A and B are shown apart, each in its own frame.
Chain A
Amino acid sequence: MKILGLEKFFSGRKGWLWGLFGLFMLALAVLPLFASGFWLRTLTLIFLLAAMAEGWNYIGGYTGYAAFGNVAFFGIGAYGTALAMLRLHFSFFPALLVGVAAAMLFAIVIGLPVLRLKGHYFAIATVALATAVGEVADYWTDFTGGSAGLTLPFFDPIEYSGQFFYYISFLLVIFGLWLTYFVMKGKMGYSWVAVREDEDAAKMMGINTTWAKVSAFALSALMAGAAGAIYGYWNTFVLPEEVFKIDYTLQMILSTVLGGPGTILGPFIGAFLYYILITLLVFFFHVGAFHETILGVIIILVMVFTPQGLMDFLSGKKKLTLSSLLENIRTHKV
């Protein structure tokens, strides 16, 4: 028998879920052969959101720390890449590594003190940090170009630009899914979940909880940082108020929560769900910020009725019935 194996992973309805998922991925892989620029752009955006959500899932979903500042990693990834390309004249891929490394380093240095905080203290500290980093990018003009931003070269050859960014984002999403699977079947994954379930008990099992939390934080920075790197180059422009926008943090959290926090496919499915929801809402309620209000209401309903997200039902753990929705209210004491 495998120690700490994931034998329950493929049981139940998850079998066909993975089959469906495989077909969907295949369709996405061949899509650029047929689809227009609009669809490529839309899906690239969804992929980048999914990648960030996969990352947020490590710290927020599996480890249970409500990180509200993950956009900082996105912004640092974008700036690190842009600066490496402009100042060091790196080509895109080495520059992406610089951006990702910067985001991860920041996560480790910041995570060591901040991850000692719990609950809403941690949440507030991460919001504050993300805001602070955005301000630094805005005012450290000599280094970051300040509020004028940084302009990057176009992808060359430009006629393949759409395909390039589509596939690179798609690869990042797949990498994220693989990373989640790989981590969660091993000891590190179990240390994250143990911290979420009971941090004191995790310590009693001999888990270095500081390392568990920092590793989850750093890997979530990896995903958001890489997404930021791709986004910056795609946009050919990196601006503080754009890449440090708190909306991005909210989007990754919402995607994860909609799809199912602490599951492998949840954030990926959630990103699509979020995007479809937002598009429908804008379409039907195009008056100003009203669609955001509706979105807020939907999120509250999701949190109340399906706190484990859609994955609970897709995986066959629960049936989507009224009684199971009401049961959720009772068990989660909402």
Chain B
Amino acid sequence: MLEIKNLNVGYGEVQVLWDIDMEVKEGEVVALVGSNGAGKTTLLYTISGLLHPMSGSIRFNGQEIAGLPSEEIVDLGITQVPQGRKLFAGMTVKENILMGAYHRKDKKQIQKDYEFVLELFPRMAERLSQPAGSLSGGEQQMCAVARGLMAAPKLLMIDELSLGLAPIIVENIYEAVSEVIKRGTTVLIVEQDVMLALEQADRAYVLDVGHMRMSGPAKEMMDNPVIKEAYLGL
């Protein structure tokens, strides 16, 4: 579904990602892990079209998308739940959730998806008319995931969902995400919390200061001594 080859990305003169290769197959859950500053968010921004690569290729369902404007990439079915949630703080929860469907025109299906995300996050249904900026951290993350789902993505990329949240809330939200996965959405999970990401994923990639160090089935990664030592502290 998503094939990245020899991707180089940078900000101005400063290169951040070197020769990245990565693949996400349809129906798969892939984890992208790595420490702070490894370039995970940069990679997601490049896939989303917010950054344009220096060189290399990103193909989505066979179509080259590297360098396309972000709105066309969203139209093709790639959406991200960004790091730091990036909600529209002044809009209500409902408006935020519906903003996810901004690019869609299938009103009936939007309505169905809206009902589905409110079932998934009942807390959001209680807070619909509240400004998103007034929500707690966990609720904001729920709102951000709900907004992402409203885009009806084929590939959903979730960036640092667990950051700054209590474990119980993280678990709660990941339960909702696994509900989405069951419905056949392909998911790319980006996490600093390596264990958490590996538990969710079928396969995993390890990004280390701009280079793709390792990849393989998530189960094997958990047993890999290098991973254990570097990221799990075992």
Chain A residues within 8 Å of B, Cβ to Cβ: 1, 3-4, 8, 187, 190-191, 193-194, 196-198, 200-201, 203-208, 262
Shortest C-beta distance, B148 to chain A (Å), equals: 8
Nearest B-chain residue to A190, judged by Cβ = B99
Q: Please, which residues of chain A bring their CB within 8 A of the CB of B74?
A: 204-206
Interface residue? B129 (CB, 8 A): yes
Q: Please, which residues of chain B bring their CB within 8 A of the CB of A198?
A: 86-89
Q: Across the A-B interface, give the 10 residue pairs with the lowest CB-CB distance, nearest first.
A: A206-B103, A206-B74, A201-B86, A197-B88, A203-B70, A205-B102, A206-B71, A208-B71, A198-B86, A205-B99
Whole-angstrom distance between the alpha carbons of A194 and B88 in the complex? Answer: 6
Report whether A191 and B71 are in contact in the complex, using a CB–CB cutoff of 8 Å: no
Interface size on B, residues (CB 8 A): 31
Whole-angstrom distance between the alpha carbons of A207 and B48 in the complex? Answer: 12
Q: Please, which residues of chain A bring their CB within 8 A of the CB of B147?
A: 205
Interface residues of B in 44-94 (CB under 8 A from A): 48-50, 69-71, 74-75, 79-80, 82, 86-92
Whole-angstrom distance between the alpha carbons of A47 and B101 in the complex? Answer: 38
Given A196-B90, A203-B71, A206-B75, 14 more pairs with CB closer than 8 A: A3-B110, A191-B102, A193-B88, A194-B88, A197-B89, A198-B86, A198-B87, A200-B50, A201-B87, A201-B88, A203-B70, A204-B48, A205-B99, A262-B90
Interface residue? B107 (CB, 8 A): yes
Whole-angstrom distance between the alpha carbons of A190 and B98 in the complex? Answer: 10
Report whether A207 and B111 are in contact in the complex, using a CB–CB cutoff of 8 Å: no
Q: Please, which residues of chain B bring their CB within 8 A of the CB of A196?
A: 90
Q: Please, which residues of chain A bring their CB within 8 A of the CB of B48?
A: 203-204
Shortest C-beta distance, B73 to chain A (Å), equals: 8
Q: Please, which residues of chain B bring their CB within 8 A of the CB of A205?
A: 74, 99-100, 102-103, 147, 151
Whole-angstrom distance between the alpha carbons of A193 and B49 in the complex? Answer: 21
Whole-angstrom distance between the alpha carbons of A201 and B91 in the complex? Answer: 13
Q: Please, which residues of chain B bring their CB within 8 A of the CB of A187?
A: 102
Interface residue? B3 (CB, 8 A): no
Q: Which of A190, A203, A206, A262 has the most CB of B within 10 A?
A: A206
Whole-angstrom distance between the alpha carbons of A207 and B49 in the complex? Answer: 12
